[in-house]
Amino acid sequence: MSERQRKLQDKKTPGFELDSSEKSTYPLKIYDNHLIASISGLQVLIDTGSPVSIGSQTLNLPGLTCKPQPSFMGLSISLIEEYLGHKVDLLLGTDMLNSICLNINYDDREVSFSDQPQSLGGQAITVEKMHNVPIITINTDGQQRRVFYDTGAKVSYLKQSLTAGLTCTGKVKDYYPGIGKFETELYRVPLEILDEAIELDCGNLPSLIEMTLAMANCDGILGNDIFKYYNSVSINLPGKAIRLERRATVKSEASES
């Protein structure tokens, strides 16, 4: 652990009390409910579900230089562009995000990085990590469920047994490293985050990915559809905390920009 990471973890829980001494803010584009930041001329996909950053170009952030790998699990930048249908120069994963604080402001279309936690509103969730990918606890059907928090996922996913018998609200096409493109039905799922009730249209992952989640003792993935209920998400992986700022009114649909 670096000295800067140690200092971040030593801040008072949940780690968002102090203003950043060094902060950089960049424009954020929402494309097919994916988060793409424009940073120093690069199109950067923000992906807390990937333990590895992918690309061929170096990215400089406050107190951090990101030197990505050319590929991960057969996934390269060119393949990401093909799946996404949008220009991407770099996928920013948790190997780099584990050393810096990140704030996503959905409505203002901004993303900011800082070398210290930012003072923001909302409630904080304690984070566990597996390969630096964040895991949080939600509640469904009165039971606690561990899920990965993945800003690279445009919708949320739960294992099939948790969506059985629920109302199908449509279908969505997505992709997953090592699997490629797939299609899933969506199901309206009542759940709770920090004792706050919300409803998300959750899909089912291919059986191989579901088995991989089970090995991590996780029941699903929480994706970018949570921005329907939360305007701002602050991610402090060094301090093992995520802060969610609830909207005054529920957003009807995610908008592109």
Within-domain flag for 252:
no
pLDDT digits (tens, 9 = 90+) for 80-125: 999 999 999 999 999 999 999 999 999 999 999 998 877 667 889 9
pLDDT digits (tens, 9 = 90+) for 149-182: 999 999 999 999 999 999 999 999 998 887 889 9
Same domain, 83 and 161: no
Q: How many other β-carbons are positioned within 10 Å of the β-carbon of residue 254? A: 15
The total domain count for the chain is 2
Rg of the chain over Cα atoms, rounded to whole angstroms, equals 17
Same domain, 144 and 193: yes
Provide the domain limits for residue 60: 3-114
Task: Please give the helix or strand (H or E) that residue 148 lies within, else none.
Answer: strand 143-149
Same domain, 75 and 138: no
- Percent of the chain scoring above 70 in pLDDT: 89
pLDDT at 23: 72
Within-domain flag for 253:
no
Within-domain flag for 166:
yes
As a whole number of angstroms, the distance between CA 62 and CA 97 comes to: 11
Within-domain flag for 132:
yes
As a whole number of angstroms, the distance between CA 92 and CA 95 comes to: 8
Is the predicted pLDDT of residue 71 greater than 60, yes or no?
yes
CATH at 144: 2.40.70.10
Q: With contact defined as beta carbons under 8 Å apart, do 119 and 16 qualify?
A: yes
Q: With contact defined as beta carbons under 8 Å apart, do 30 and 110 qualify?
A: no
Q: Where would I find the H helices in 59-217?
A: 77-84, 94-97, 160-163, 207-215
Same domain, 220 and 148: yes
As a whole number of angstroms, the distance between CA 134 and CA 190 comes to: 22
CA nearest 200: which of 176, 222, 175, 231?
Answer: 222
Within-domain flag for 75:
yes
pLDDT at 228: 96
Within-domain flag for 254:
no
pLDDT at 73: 83
Within-domain flag for 256:
no
